[in-house]
Amino acid sequence: MERGWPDVNHRDARKVNNCMDSIQFGLFPGVCSLCGDLCRPVLDLCDACRADLPFQSNACRCCGISLPMSEVCGHCLGETHAYRHVVGLFDYRPPVDTLILGLKYRGKLSYARLLGRLLAEKLLQREEDLPEVIIPVPLHSRRLQERGYNQSLEIARPLAHKLRLPIDFRACQRHRMTAAQSTLTASERQQNVRGVFSVKPGFKKKHIAIVDDVMTTGYTVAALAQQLRNCGVSNIEVWICARAALTNT
Ligand SMILES: [Zn+2]
Ligand SMILES: [Zn+2]
């Protein structure tokens, strides 16, 4: 009688997976991005630090600001946005600022992998249709040259890989150098990004997701979303790693 592979039930399969994880952990452990302890290499985040992260639990569907209970905040009840809704991963507070600022200003590209993968985990829990394409918020070419990379594109890469979606980082351009939004008041921020984005001619998608690292007033993504709507994109989502509340109005 021919002897094939023995039957493997789910419990055995889990044991094999755990065993493989342990071997991988033993041979190639990761280092936690926040505390520096050894951890499983997939995320570079230990379980204790993960448990302390300020994941958003309930937030306004329209603007992503954290709310105690309801689905839409008071501000969005009386307002329409160029984007349909916002999905945020974290509230912007310690230790998330370490990850965002490290990625943006200290060249810590591994933080983008962590943020992108965690954001993908959240998005995979939804039942909604995924967009046709992911569009990272573009940097001005001079800022891109100074920094060497676009942090939103770096977050979008692992995200797109996990969700099996294409990224289009050439669809939109930022054609004016602007002051950093974080240095301005709310009204200055709106003025600062007015008319700074353009969409390449012939862009034909209907459902897209804009990806950004942090959202505070939302003026940057709103300005980009408005340009995309003007080009016929009817369903625009905004996916962000961290949602901040504006304090310097
Ligand atoms: Zn840790
Ligand atoms: Zn809202």
Domain locations in the chain as residue ranges: 10-52, 55-243
Give the ligand at the shortest distance from the Cα of 215.
2
CA–centroid distance, 72 to ligand 2, in Å, is 5
CA–centroid distance, 236 to ligand 1, in Å, is 35
CA–centroid distance, 159 to ligand 1, in Å, is 22
Can you tell me the distance from the alpha carbon of 42 to that of 93, in angstroms, rounded to the nearest whole number? 24
Can you tell me the distance from the alpha carbon of 52 to that of 50, in angstroms, rounded to the nearest whole number? 5
What residues have a C-beta under 5 A from ligand 1, the ion?
32, 34-35, 46, 49
Give the per-residue pLDDT at 4. Answer: 44
Give the ligand at the shortest distance from the Cα of 40.
1
Give the ligand at the shortest distance from the Cα of 83.
2
pTM comes to 0.85
**Structural element, H or E, at residue 25:** helix 10-27
CA–centroid distance, 79 to ligand 2, in Å, is 9
**Mind listing the pLDDT tens digit for each residue in 181-216?**
677 777 777 777 778 999 999 999 999 999 999 999
CA–centroid distance, 218 to ligand 2, in Å, is 10
Q: How many residues does the chain have?
A: 249
**Mind listing the pLDDT tens digit for each residue in 8-56?**
454 555 565 556 555 555 567 889 999 999 998 888 999 999 999 999 9
Give the ligand at the shortest distance from the Cα of 114.
1
CA–centroid distance, 76 to ligand 2, in Å, is 4
Look up the CATH architecture of domain 55-243: 3-Layer(aba) Sandwich (3.40)
Tokens 């003026």 correspond to what residue?
219
Q: What is the rounded average pLDDT of the residues 135-139?
A: 97
Q: Is 194 exposed, middle or buried (0-12, 13-18, 19+ CB in 10 A)?
A: middle
Is omega for the bond preceding 41 within 30 degrees of 0, making it cis?
no
